[in-house]
Structure 1
Amino acid sequence: MKKVTSFLIFTLMFSFGQINAQSKVEFGVKSGLNLTFFKVKQGSFGTNPETATGFYGGIFADFNAEEDFSIQPEILYIVLNDFNFINAPIYVKYEIGHNFNLLVGPSLNYFFDFFTNKFKVRADIATAYSITPNIDVNIKYTLGFQEITPNGLFIGMGLKL
């Protein structure tokens, strides 16, 4: 666990270091609902996917690099029945419309309940709509590349502190 935590902290610090030190940084919290799809064929939900419902909560930082572009790393704790894991996406965030953002990037995951190979990399694509300057609603889809890494849909809210 210490190795994974150290790796996540190093990755986030590396990401932070890539952004100009004079850029605007905003911090916040987010939480919401998680739907995870098991036994899913790659790129298709199939006829009857098994779905589990859970929740997530965590923190994020938003490093503005340019007017419409930023880097947004997050650390989320996901609870899904008796299945718990840490999800740490590192997003490239781009404002595609007024108060509407597209976020894409890799997602680093540590699964507490697996016996072997607890660390997985997944791909995320997300959107966020800012209701106010400090509150947004967001939805993301996470694509697992291996059978044991399920796909997930996250629906939630974020609050800038």
Structure 2
Amino acid sequence: MKKLLLTLAAGALFFGAQAQISIMPKAGVSLASVASKSAGESSTSDMKTGFAFGVAAPISVSEQFSVQPELLYIQKGGEEKNNGLTTSATINYLEIPVMARAHFGGFYVGAGPYLGIALGGKAKIDDGSASIEADLNIGTDEAEDDVKPTDFGLYFGLGYGFEVGSGKLVLDARYGLGLSNTLPGGDSDNFNKNRNIAITVGYAIPLGQ
């Protein structure tokens, strides 16, 4: 047992010595839609543009592999147009993605899960001459609420980073596949699931240098 503990400790020290941690502010846009099913009939809303910004902490384990936890504010939702009437919803999430990334020179591909916490949102109806807005209710009550308080899904993405000054400028594009049913009281024949494309620019600043 003592030998095993010493081996694990040595491995942890080696990993800590090899890993390079950076802090990376990032910002961009979220092109969001909602995949829905109502009474068994599927549909997908039009995309709605929102904001995405936050901070990431890229951890470079080697030249070929890194792990990147993030804390993001991101807007999701969607819109629909019918007979001159536009109905849209914007949901604000505090999101925690963790991306595993494989690097090929300056390029990388990545994937990982995310957890989203709904902070609030608005629904809007616009007929071209006037509009009405209302706050969305966040919760799990089927009769009272519009959106569940949490969302879970996967991100798949790619990007490119290059040296600028003492840090690295990083261009990132990713697709978000929501796995959670965000409709309170929903089931397999009645659901809303988030979809989005996020495009961001970040600047990674190495720590300890």
Scaled by the length of structure 1, the TM-score of the pair is 0.76
Structure 2: state its 5+ residue gaps. Answer: 1-11, 77-88, 121-137, 141-147, 182-190
In structure 2, the residue matched to 1:37 is: 33
Q: 1:12 maps to which residue?
A: none
CA-CA distance at 1:131 after TM superposition = 3.8
3-state DSSP of counterpart to 2:139: coil
From 188, 197, 201, the counterpart of 1:153: 197
C-alpha displacement of 1:86: 1.0
Alignment-derived partner of residue 126 in structure 1: 157
**2:114 counterpart (101, 104, 107):** 107
CA distance in 2, matches of 1:73, 1:89: 6
Letter in 2 for 1:34: S
The superposition leaves residues 100-125 of structure 1 with CA deviations (integer Å, 9 ceiling, x where unpaired) of 10110001111123222412210000
Q: For residues 48 and 119 of structure 1, do their structure 2 counterparts lie closer, same or farther at Cα, with a shift above 3 Å needed?
A: closer
Residues matched between the structures, number:
139
> Which has a greater percent of strand?
2
Secondary structure, aligned partner of 2:97: strand
Unpaired segments ≥5 residues, structure 1: 1-16
State the 4+ residue runs in structure 1 displaced beyond 4 angstroms.
none
Normalised TM-score (structure 2):
0.60
Q: Compare CA radii of gyration and give the structure with the larger one.
A: 2
Match of 1:20 among 8, 15, 21: 15
Q: Secondary structure at the match of 2:15?
A: coil
CA distance in 2, matches of 1:126, 1:72: 12
Residues 1:84 and 2:92 aligned together: yes
Task: Report the RMSD for the aligned CA atoms in angstroms.
Answer: 2.3
Matched, 1:68 2:25: no
User: Percent identity at matched positions?
Assistant: 22
Amino acid at match of 2:71: I
Q: Which residue of 1 aligns with 2:47?
A: 51
